[in-house]
Structures are given as structure tokens and as C-alpha cells.
Structure 1
Amino acid sequence: MTNPFDLSGRIAVVTGANTGLGQGIALALAQAGAAIVAVGRSAMDETRAGVEAAGGRFHEIRADLSTTEPLQAIVDDTVAHFGALDILVNNAGIIRRADAVDFTEADWDAVIDTNLKSAFFLSQAAGRHMLERGRGKIVNIASLLSFQGGIRIPSYTASKSGLAGLTKLLACEWAGRGVNVNAIAPGYFVTNNTQALREDPERSSAILARIPAGRWGEPSDIGGAAVFLASAAADYVHGTVIAVDGGWLAR
């Protein structure tokens, strides 16, 4: 019987794959059989080593996703190197922290451009290729802030709420044409974006007290959801946002 979670022969682009959640997702997809195109601003030697150790093929693309300029080239490079693009994971993201009354336009624009604008236009570029082939999987990395307000992160909250909305919009347009668009909403994970929170004893303690699982998530914890949404097992799943949060939203 065919394994519906098998990604053998599939080509997956993962943005922000040099560290954290992107790296965890890239490794999980590789372990399921996918070839990985890792996109990021810095060296991805550790990700490459993990993918190749899992027996996966690996291709690296250096790109700054604060601008839309490299997005079509990412799709073109992927197709030129591997012959196709089957899976896109929009993981790259940044965060800026300040009280709403002090938040700057520069910090607003930087976060929205990377987290929302580039995610949409990379999905558009990849979507054209997928729609032409009649199949594809797009997985957006949303956030608990797609559901909640948070504090001191207005542009991040807006970007992740917007990304959840775009996930549904694209699903409505593309579900009938063979392309699945879904999202994962990670909870509190050990990543660069949460370093400031983890180093604040009061905030870290308050966060842990609310997580039923009793711990911060590790990048490896998100891989299973990514493999599911990228696989044939999710062929009838469209426009959903799956929380991987240790039970945070349930409390």
C-alpha cells in the first residue's frame, strides 16, 4: 500500500531554512523523501548537512526576502535545478518589538514586507508553476498571533493575521485546480525570534505556565505537521491553519 506521507520525488522550497523552524521543516521534509531548496540570507551548511545525512538532495539559494526582487528567480532557479517545484513553505519572517505608541513606520514596513508581502508574491510565482502542472502544496507559517493580539508586536501580529487570511483566499481560488494552500500556527518555540522572551524570566515563566505541554517547542516538533500538509495525506485539506502550540490555544 502506498504511504500517503511519502514525499519521494517531490521538490520543496523552504524559506528561512538556515535555522530554527525553517531548518526543522526542511529536515522533516527531507526525511520524508523530498529534495530541499533552502532559501535564506546566510549560510545553510548545518541544514545541508542534515538534509544530506537523511539521504536528501539539497540546493541553496541566497536571497533577501525583505524585497520582492528575488522571488521569481527563486522559482526559476528551483525549476532549472530540479525540473519542478512541488512544495513551497513560506517560513521566513522577522519580528520587531516596541509599544504600539512608539512603533516606527520603518519597523512596520520591514515586518510586513518580509512576513506578508514577500510570502504572497512568492506564492504567486510558485502558484503559476503549480497551476500549470495541476498540482502543488503551499504551506504558510502563520502564528498564534494569527488568532490573538499579543503585546508590543503590532506589525508581526498584523502580518500573521494577514497571512492566515491569504491562506484562505488562495485556497478558495486554487483548491479546484489541484493546489493546496494551508498554514501552520506555531506556538512558543525555541528560535531566534523568541530569544528576548526566553531571556526575560518573568515573561518566560508566564508563557510556560500557560502551555499545557509544559515546555517550549523545539524546531523538530513542527516537522510532522509540515510533512502532512505537503503530502498526499492532505489532498482534501484546504485553507486550514493548524496550531502546533503545545495546547496553548486550548487553554
Structure 2
Amino acid sequence: MLALQLLIIASVVVIPLYFIFKAKFSKTKKISGKTAIVTGGSNGLGQQICIKLAQHGCNVIIADISSAKETLKKLEVYDIKSKAYMVDVSNYKEILKMKEDLKDEFESVDIVVNNAGLIPYKTLFEQTSDEIETLNKVNLNSTIFMTKCFIERMIEKGTGHIVSISSTQGIYAFPHSLTYCASKFAVTGFMLGLKEFLRREKLHGIDTTCILPNIMTTRKDIIDLLDEKK
């Protein structure tokens, strides 16, 4: 039991530190003139990612099931191209259609940011089977589908970057959000596997980044819920 506890503590502390130091000492990538597609970019963290990309001169494509008019408005002040597609990124056919549609305005997609996600703070018994299925489709399937759809062109070009937003709950399970943790563990595992695949295939021009955020104030509904539970 003690050994298991030490293993969990080591995972929670060492793994995030590894990614922090790796990011700190790695070379800064120039993204000016590149094109990034961000899922779930209409609000919250996704919107902030879009803004930060634009600040660095990166063209931004937003893929979201919700309207991204607010994000597009905030991107107007930057000298970049931006466009939003209303698409369900958990549906592979819709992603393929979007990929065809965006070819008219964007030569290629250099960066994929898999940010779309659902955070239901419910116990396993409070969630319906439909809610659980939808959660896994949005949190996991969209990450796999978006990567599958856009990485082939990156391999042809010999360059690209796949970024996925996992969570600290993707390396440490919390009892109040079992299904969310399971989906984020899967995202973390997928990204680790993808990194190893690219290494074994010697596809060194394609980078991967898996980000593990903690609780953020970008989602007012989640903050209000957590305040109620205090």
C-alpha cells in the first residue's frame, strides 16, 4: 500500500516537472505565418489559446460546435487570417468536411490544438449512459479524430505540431469525476503513444505536446459549481 502511495506521489510531482523543464529548456518555435486549428476555441481556455497564437503571428482556425463570433472579434486586432467552423469535432465525417472546406483559404494546417472538452462534475451514479458516451466522444474521440485527419499532411511535409489539452486528472484520478479522469488518462496515453510512434518512425519534424492544466478560472460555470461545493 505504501509503495502504491509513493508511486502516485511520484507521478503527480515528477511528470509535471518533467514537462515544465522540457518546455523551459527547449528551443522556442517560431509560429509567425503558420496556421493553427483550435478545437473548442469559442470560449474559455480555447479562446485564450487562439489569442496567444494570434499574438505570435499565427493564423487561427476555430473548430467548435458553438458560435465563435466573440473569439473572431478579439482576433481582428491582429494581422493574421482567422476563420471559424461550426463543427462537432467528435464526428469524424464533419471533421473531414471541414478539412475540405478550409483548403480554399488555408494552404495547410501546421498546428493542431486538441482543446475541446467536457467537464461534468458528477459522480458515476449521477451521470446517464448517454452523458458518459458524449463525454468520451468529445474528450477522447475528437483528439484522435483531429490528429488522424491532419497528421497525414504533416507527415508528407515533414513538419507539424500536435498539441492536446489533458489535465492533472489525466495522471491522478479524483473520486468525484471518475469518467472525466478516465477520458483524460486516455488522452495522456494517446499522446505518449503518438510521441513514441513518431520517434520509432523517425518522423522527427513533427512535435507533440501534452498539457496537463489544473483548475482554471476561464470557465465561470465550473468556478461557480466549485464555490457551491465549499
TM-score range, shorter chain: 0.7 to 0.9
Read off the aligned partner of 1:27 and give its amino acid letter.
Answer: I
Amino acid at match of 1:197: L
1:108 shift after superposition: 1.3
Taking a change above 3 Å as real, the CA distance of residues 196 and 111 of structure 1, as seen in their structure-2 partners, is farther
TM-score (norm 1): 0.74
Q: What per-residue deviation string (whole Å, max 9, x for no partner) do you get for residues 59-118 of structure 1? A: 111102242221222333333321111000000011223222443321211100111012
- Code of the aligned partner of 1:49: K
The structure whose RCO (Cα within 8 Å, separation 6+) is larger is 1
Q: Distance in 2 between matches of 1:198 and 1:63?
A: 30
2: CA distance between counterparts of 1:91 and 1:59? Answer: 17
How far is the alpha carbon of 1:167 from its aligned partner? 0.4
Contact persistence 1:88–1:123 (CA under 8 A): yes
User: 2:48 and 2:122 mapped to 1: Cα distance?
Assistant: 28
The answer as to whether partners of 1:146 and 1:160 remain within 8 angstroms in 2 is: yes
CA deviations 1:13-33 (Å, max 9, x no partner) are 000000000000010011011
- Per the TM alignment, residue 201 of structure 1 is displaced from its structure 2 partner at its CA by 5.5
Deviation of residue 192 (structure 1)?
Answer: 4.8
Equivalent residues of 2:165, 2:210 under 8 A apart: yes
Letter in 1 for 2:161: K
Q: Contact (CA 8 Å) 2:88, 2:95: kept in 1 or not?
A: no
Instruction: Percent identity, please.
Output: 27
Give the partner amino acid of 1:180.
D
CA contact (8 A) 1:10 1:86 kept: yes
Partners of 2:72 and 2:64 in 1: CA distance: 12
Aligned residues: 200
Match of 2:212 in 1: 185
Matches within 5 A, 1:30-49: 30-49=54-73
Quick check: 167-176 or 23-32, which moved more?
Answer: 167-176
1:149 maps to what in 2? 173
Partner-residue secondary structure (3-state), 1:127:
helix
Provide the residue aligned with 1:112 in structure 2: 136
What TM-score comes out, normalization by structure 2 length? 0.80
- 1:96 lines up with 2:120 in the alignment: yes
Query: What is the Cα deviation at residue 170 of structure 1?
Result: 0.9
Unaligned runs of 5+ in 1: 203-251
- Give the drift of 1:119: 1.0
Task: Indicate the SS of the match to 1:114.
Answer: helix
Residues 89, 146 of structure 2: 8 Å contact kept: no
Match of 2:92 in 1: 68
Give the CA deviation at 1:156.
1.0
Distance 1:66 1:155 in 2: 17
Any gaps of 5 or more consecutive residues in structure 2?
A: 1-26
CA contact (8 A) 1:94 1:193 kept: no
